[in-house]
């Protein structure tokens, strides 16, 4: 399958694949961070919004929320889920907005979908332009030096008489600016079993490299990847939640 085939051809399975994600907790945590560090505004853009579950929760929190993604089938599902929101087919590494917003988010490590460091830098510059004064950019990220290629997340979901088993895990060669997300989906029913495998190229970087990219644009705050508590990053863990205030 091609690089984005999993999310275009199997976009109808995406919500099943992410069934274990607590979108509400993630959205509420970032809302709290916006209240603490932001400008008290309620306009919001979600980068790589997928099928729109985070947008749904931000709307319910009182935000004027919008989203962008590179896959139209995902956006079609998002528009049905959030008819109040505006969605656009754009690449987050070079996006345009009619008006700046107060909060920009990028959940589920999707910041890594920028293909390389040059595109990541372009994305961050676009985010800076897209924020109002004292606006907040919040996203989660993984440090390439802390990736364990042997670790995989797995869960199973029963749906419409079929059983789906999803596996996903990071892979990093140990050098360079490329990592990948390896994904497999197994669908079993009375007639047999189908399996899809995909590998998504992503940008790899250390937290030190990321901070260097962000600091010309933002005041950077780093927290542990915990959506229940606001805990400063311990400088050891390889997953973190970055909260960046426009300067």
Q: What is the Cα–Cα distance from 127 to 88, expressed in whole angstroms?
A: 15
- Domains of the chain, each with CATH number or no CATH: 5-143+205-246 (3.40.50.150), 145-203 (2.20.130.10)
What is residue 9's predicted lDDT score, i.e. its pLDDT?
56
Instruction: Specify which residues 142 forms β-bridges with.
Output: 239
What is residue 2's predicted lDDT score, i.e. its pLDDT?
42
Q: What is the Cα–Cα distance from 177 to 203, expressed in whole angstroms?
A: 6
What is residue 74's predicted lDDT score, i.e. its pLDDT?
94
Q: Residue 24, SS3?
A: helix
Q: What is the Cα–Cα distance from 230 to 247, expressed in whole angstroms?
A: 22
DSSP letter for 91, please: -
- Describe the strand order of the beta sheet including 162-172 as a list of residue ranges: 153-159, 162-172, 178-189, 192-203
If we measure between CA atoms, which residue out of 137, 135, 87 comes closest to residue 110? Answer: 137
What is residue 10's predicted lDDT score, i.e. its pLDDT?
61
Pairing between β-strand 218-224 and β-strand 239-246 as defined by DSSP bridges: antiparallel
Name the token pair of 98.
């009619």
List per-block mean pLDDT (blocks of 10 residues) for the chain, which spans 247 residues. Answer: 49 85 98 97 98 98 98 96 98 96 98 97 98 98 97 94 96 97 94 92 98 98 97 97 98
Residue where the block lists tokens 């947008």: 55
What is residue 113's predicted lDDT score, i.e. its pLDDT?
96
């Amino acid at each position: 399958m091609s690089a984005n085939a999993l999310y275009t051809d199997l976009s109808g399975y995406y919500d099943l694949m992410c069934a274990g994600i607590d979108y509400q907790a993630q959205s509420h945590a970032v809302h709290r961070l916006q209240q603490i560090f932001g400008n008290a505004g309620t306009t919001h853009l979600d980068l790589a919004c997928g099928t729109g579950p985070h947008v749904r929760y931000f709307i319910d929190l009182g935000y004027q929320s919008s989203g962008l993604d590179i896959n139209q089938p995902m956006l079609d599902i998002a528009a049905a889920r959030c008819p109040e929101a505006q969605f656009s087919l754009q690449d987050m590494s070079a996006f345009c907005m009619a008006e700046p917003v107060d909060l920009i988010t990028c959940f589920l490590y999707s910041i890594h979908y920028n293909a390389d460091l040059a595109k990541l830098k372009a994305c961050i510059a676009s985010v800076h332009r897209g924020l109002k004064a004292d606006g907040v950019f919040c996203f989660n990220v993984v440090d390439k030096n802390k990736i364990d290629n042997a670790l995989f997340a797995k869960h199973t979901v029963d749906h419409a008489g079929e059983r789906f088993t999803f596996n996903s895990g990071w892979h990093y060669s140990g050098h360079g600016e490329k990592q990948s997300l390896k994904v497999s989906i197994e669908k079993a029913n009375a007639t047999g079993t189908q399996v899809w495998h995909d590998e998504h190229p992503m940008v790899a970087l250390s937290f030190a490299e990321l901070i260097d990219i962000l600091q010309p644009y933002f005041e950077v705050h780093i927290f542990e990847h915990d959506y229940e508590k606001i805990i400063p990053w311990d400088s050891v863990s390889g997953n973190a939640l970055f909260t960046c205030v426009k300067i």
